[in-house]
C-alpha cells in the first residue's frame, strides 16, 4: 500500500493562535509546514520553525503552492484571504468567527462553492471529548427534556492583550466576537439552534470601544432557555479555558462553568457531574439527589481539528463545521451585538 503523501499546509497570521497552529503542523505526522505569512515582519515563528516567511498571503501561495491554508488573521481579513485561496484551489481552515459580517461570510460560502474548495471553520471545541460527551448526554434525552442552560465565562485578560489596536474596536474586537463566539457555537452544537437573544453590555471597566462585560438571555428552538454572564475584566476561575484545562496558556482551576438542566436530571460541565433522583424512586425537592460523574479521556481538540483538516484536504472527509455552519454561529454573535445596540430582543430569523 502506497504511503500517504503529507499535506502541504501554510499559515496566514503569526499571532498567538497562528503560531500555535504552525507549531502543531511542524510536529504532526501527515502534514508538512511550507510557510507562514504575516504583515508584521517582527514575528519570527517562521524562522524558529525553519520555513519561509512572507509579508503577504498571495506571494506565499504563489511560491509555496500549499494544499491548504490556516487563516489566523483578524476577522475583517478572512473573506479576502478565503476568496484568494478559493481562486487558487487552496482549501482553508478559518479561525472563528468565519468573518466579521454575514455579508463577508456569504462571500466565503459563494467563493468556496463556486471554486469547489472546502472551508473548515475553527470552532475547535467541537472536537473536545468533554463537549462531544455533553452533546451526547443532552441529545440522547438522558437528562430528559432540556429545560435550561447556564454559562459563565469570566476571566481577566492581561493589559498587554489590548496592546493590539484591532482588539479595542469594531469590527474585529470585543469578547462577543473573539471569545463568546465559541460559547454560541458550543450551545448550538450541544443544545440545538438558538431562536432569539436579548443582551446587555458594559465597557465601564476597561473603557474601550468594545464591551468588556455582557449579560445574554437566550431561547432555543426546542423551547429551552439559556443565560450567559461574561466578562474579560475580572479575576475568575469560571470560564471554559480555566475549567477545562484545554489550553496550557491559561491557569487551570477544577471548577464548573456550564450547567445543563433537564426534566430528569442536570449536568455540570466540565467536571461532568450528573445529578438525578434514584431510579424508580420518589422525586421532588424533599427527596435526596444522587450525584454521579462521567469519566472522559481528554485529548487536544486542536490536534484533532488539524488531523480532520488534513483528511478534508485529501478528500477523505467533509468539513465538520463548514462555511454555512460557521455562518450560523456568527449570526448568533452579531444578533447579540444588534440586541445591545437596539436594547431589545433580536430573533435569529432577522439576521
Q: What is the mean pLDDT of residues 316-337?
A: 97
- CA dihedral (282, 283, 285, 291) in degrees, to 10, reads 100
Same domain, 266 and 306: no
pLDDT interval class at 228 (50, 70, 90)? very high
Same domain, 166 and 186: yes
Same domain, 120 and 130: no
Same domain, 89 and 190: no
Kindly report whether the peptide bond that precedes residue 320 is cis, defined as omega within 30 degrees of 0.
no
Q: Which domain holds residue 152?
A: 126-298+332-350
pLDDT interval class at 48 (50, 70, 90)? confident
Condensed to tens digits (0 to 9), the pLDDT of residues 253-267 reads 999 999 999 999 999
Q: What is the mean pLDDT of residues 175-182?
A: 92
Q: Out of 132-136, 168-172, 234-238, which region has the weakest mean confidence (pLDDT)?
A: 168-172
Bridge-partner residues for 199, per DSSP? 216
pLDDT interval class at 350 (50, 70, 90)? low
Same domain, 45 and 79: yes
- Per the structure, the count of domains in the chain is 2
181: how many CB neighbours lie within 10 A of its CB? 24
Whether 283 contacts 265, CB under 8 Å: no
Our measurement of the distance from residue 305's CA atom to the centroid of its chain's CA atoms, rounded to an integer in Å, reads 11
Cα–Cα distances (Å) from 137 to 44, 190, 261, 273, in that order, read 44, 9, 11, 12
Look at residue 46 in the predicted model and tell me its pLDDT.
72
The CATH number covering residue 132 comes to: 3.30.360.10
pLDDT interval class at 1 (50, 70, 90)? very low
Q: Which has the closest alpha carbon to 226: 296, 279, 282, 151?
A: 151
Whether 123 contacts 333, CB under 8 Å: no
pLDDT interval class at 45 (50, 70, 90)? confident
Amino acid at each position: 500500500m502506497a504511503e500517504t503523501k503529507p499535506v502541504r499546509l501554510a499559515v496566514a497570521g503569526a499571532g498567538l493562535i497562528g503560531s500555535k497552529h504552525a507549531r502543531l503542523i511542524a510536529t504532526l505526522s501527515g502534514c508538512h509546514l511550507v510557510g507562514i505569512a504575516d504583515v508584521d515582519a517582527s514575528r519570527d515563528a517562521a524562522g524558529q520553525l525553519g520555513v519561509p516567511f512572507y509579508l503577504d498571503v498571495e506571494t506565499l501561495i504563489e511560491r509555496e503552492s500549499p494544499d491548504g491554508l490556516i487563516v489566523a488573521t483578524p476577522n475583517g481579513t478572512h473573506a479576502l484571504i478565503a476568496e484568494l485561496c478559493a481562486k487558487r484551489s487552496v482549501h482553508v481552515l478559518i479561525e472563528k468567527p468565519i468573518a466579521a459580517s454575514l455579508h463577508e461570510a456569504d462571500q466565503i460560502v459563494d467563493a468556496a462553492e463556486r471554486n469547489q474548495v472546502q472551508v473548515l471553520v475553527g470552532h475547535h471545541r467541537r472536537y473536545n471529548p468533554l463537549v462531544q460527551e455533553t452533546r451526547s448526554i443532552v441529545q440522547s434525552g438522558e437528562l430528559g427534556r432540556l429545560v435550561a442552560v447556564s454559562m459563565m465565562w469570566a476571566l481577566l485578560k492581561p493589559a498587554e492583550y489590548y496592546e493590539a489596536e484591532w482588539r479595542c474596536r469594531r469590527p474585529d474586537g470585543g469578547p462577543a466576537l473573539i471569545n463568546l463566539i465559541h460559547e454560541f457555537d458550543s450551545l448550538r452544537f450541544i443544545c440545538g439552534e438558538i431562536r432569539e437573544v436579548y443582551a446587555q453590555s458594559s465597557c465601564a471597566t476597561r473603557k474601550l470601544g468594545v464591551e468588556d462585560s455582557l449579560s445574554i438571555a437566550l431561547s432555543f428552538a426546542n423551547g429551552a432557555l439559556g443565560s450567559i454572564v461574561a466578562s474579560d475584566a475580572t479575576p475568575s476561575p469560571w470560564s471554559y479555558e480555566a475549567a477545562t484545562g484545554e489550553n496550557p496558556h491559561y491557569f487551570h482551576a477544577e471548577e464548573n462553568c456550564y450547567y445543563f438542566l433537564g426534566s430528569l436530571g442536570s449536568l455540570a460541565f466540565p467536571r461532568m457531574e450528573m445529578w438525578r433522583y434514584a431510579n424508580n424512586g420518589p422525586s421532588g425537592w424533599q427527596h435526596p439527589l444522587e450525584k454521579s460523574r462521567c469519566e472522559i479521556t481528554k485529548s487536544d481538540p486542536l490536534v484533532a481539528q488539524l488531523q480532520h483538516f488534513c483528511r478534508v484536504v485529501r478528500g477523505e472527509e467533509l468539513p465538520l463545521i463548514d462555511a454555512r455552519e460557521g455562518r450560523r454561529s456568527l449570526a448568533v454573535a452579531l444578533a447579540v451585538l444588534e440586541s445591545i445596540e437596539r436594547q431589545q430582543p433580536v430573533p435569529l430569523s432577522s439576521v
